[in-house]
Homo-oligomer: A and B are copies of this chain.
């Protein structure tokens, strides 16, 4: 069964900046979608900021297995409602791949709970993305590292929580390091942050980067049914306790009342 994969892009720089347009004439989302389509397990579509509800109405998200997110200059234009909706779907089990400048997106900051800040420099310098565990499913087929002749520098400290796994760490020509591939779990959903992908360099045309993206979608896919009530506090009444119980003592709840929150 195909993994329903949606590539989201704010799609602004590609329309307004001639140099970016030259690299991604159809937008970063289509470049990534084409790369993912090389994997026959993936059913890929795209969504962009300017579509109604940013292309992510509830019904579409409910049918999405894995979402990729690229945004840079318009994080603030993403509605809080859509960001919360994506957060809830991740908790229910949808996979999420956050790309490059998406570190400052609403959805990534909501899911991390930390500032997600970093150091940066746009100088076209060399980046070498080292695989920390080359046998990790996300690093499959990459070898020991990926070399990017021109990249935006992202440097530590990167203010994210300790990850489940550090999959990649990048070396930069100008002297910095960066944890460029990190995994997280939130509820039933798996999250992968991957930092390469600045829009003024053809990074998503790099075959090894495309391989990481395909790997990451497969890794993030959770075939379990959506955990729809994952955010609900659930009362287990005395009569349904697993062991015989007699209630005792005072209560701040009335019988049958929903929990406080």
CB of A52 closer than 8 Å to a CB of B: no
**Copies per complex?**
4
A164 and B164 in contact, given A73-B260, A187-B114 (Cβ under 8 angstroms): yes
Among B171, B234, B251, the residue within 8 A (CB) of A171 is: B171
Q: Please determine whether A243 and B75 come into contact, CB atoms closer than 8 angstroms.
A: no
Stretch from A13-21, A31-39, A59-67, A205-213 contacting the other chain = A13-21
Among B120, B157, B230, the residue within 8 A (CB) of A132 is: B157
Q: Please determine whether A161 and B159 come into contact, CB atoms closer than 8 angstroms.
A: no
A224 and B91 in contact, given A20-B252, A104-B233 (Cβ under 8 angstroms): no
Q: Please determine whether A248 and B171 come into contact, CB atoms closer than 8 angstroms.
A: no
Give the B-binding residues of A (Cβ under 8 A): 13, 17, 19-20, 72-73, 75-76, 87-88, 91, 93, 101, 104, 110-115, 117-125, 128, 130-135, 137, 140, 144-145, 147, 150, 153, 155-159, 161-162, 164-166, 169-177, 179, 184-188, 199-201, 222-224, 227, 230-238, 241-243, 245-253, 259-261
* Smallest CB separation, A177 vs chain B (Å): 5
B residues near A134, Cβ cutoff 8 Å: 157, 188, 224, 227
B residues near A172, Cβ cutoff 8 Å: 171
